[in-house]
Chains A and B, each alone.
Chain A
Amino acid sequence: EAGVAQSPRYKIIEKRQSVAFWCNPISGHATLYWYQQILGQGPKLLIQFQNNGVVDDSQLPKDRFSAERLKGVDSTLKIQPAKLEDSAVYLCASSPISSETQYFGPGTRLLVL
């Protein structure tokens, strides 16, 4: 079974630039999550989708972060404009609708200079 796919794996940008990350969840998983993991810390939930609807985006900095899952399958997370403190690993996870177990992708490591 293919796992959660994310791209790119690494991205280096300058502050005030824009960046987008892509996630393709495990086939059939209705729930998709985006997390931000700063070095040395545990992941922090940014947004949770169920199919193409947003379940929780309370910790998403909406002035600069946006995410969408238009067709209820893959998802994109965008940062515009980026700040130095956005440097982190952005993890995508998915889970079946009846399960609490989340399956994580490899993450996208972002460095903002």
Chain B
Amino acid sequence: KNQVEQSPQSLIILEGKNCTLQCNYTVSPFSNLRWYKQDTGRGPVSLTIMTFSENTKSNGRYTATLDADTKQSSLHITASQLSDSASYICVVSTGNAGNMLTFGGGTRLMVKP
């Protein structure tokens, strides 16, 4: 069964601090992995997308890593801001066409002043 597990479920950090969110997956065949940010009351917005051959990808203060051997990904947020408070969802694409998505449960991040 294809599964995507995220940890921690929730996290509180102080503004300016860094944090790392984890994503483990058991999905086959793997096509790509995305991280989405979902603000409260809004739909998810794509942050990064990585294919099998990519180890790291950055989008501003967000850096995602992928280890295809261990089937793990992380999302590192540098110098957090209050606007980073949101849920972060890890999504893995499967299937030969990469069009079947398996969503993780998300990590709820709260950045406090």
Which residues of A come within 8 Å of B, CB atoms? 4, 40-45, 48, 55-56, 91, 93, 100-102, 104-107, 109
Contact = CB atoms under 8 A, between A and B. Distances in A.
A106 B41 contact: yes
B43 A101 contact: no
A4 B43 contact: yes
Interface residues of B, number: 24
Given A106-B42, A107-B43, A100 B103 contact: no
Given A43-B103, A91-B43, A106-B41, A100 B98 contact: yes
A104 B45 contact: yes
Interface of B: 4, 9, 31-32, 34, 41-46, 49, 89, 91, 93, 98-101, 103-106, 108
Does more than half of chain B's interface fall in helix, strand or loop, or is it mixed? strand
Contacts of B103: 42-44
Given A4-B43, A93-B43, A42 B93 contact: no
A41 B4 CA distance: 12
A55 B99 CA distance: 10
A107 B93 contact: no
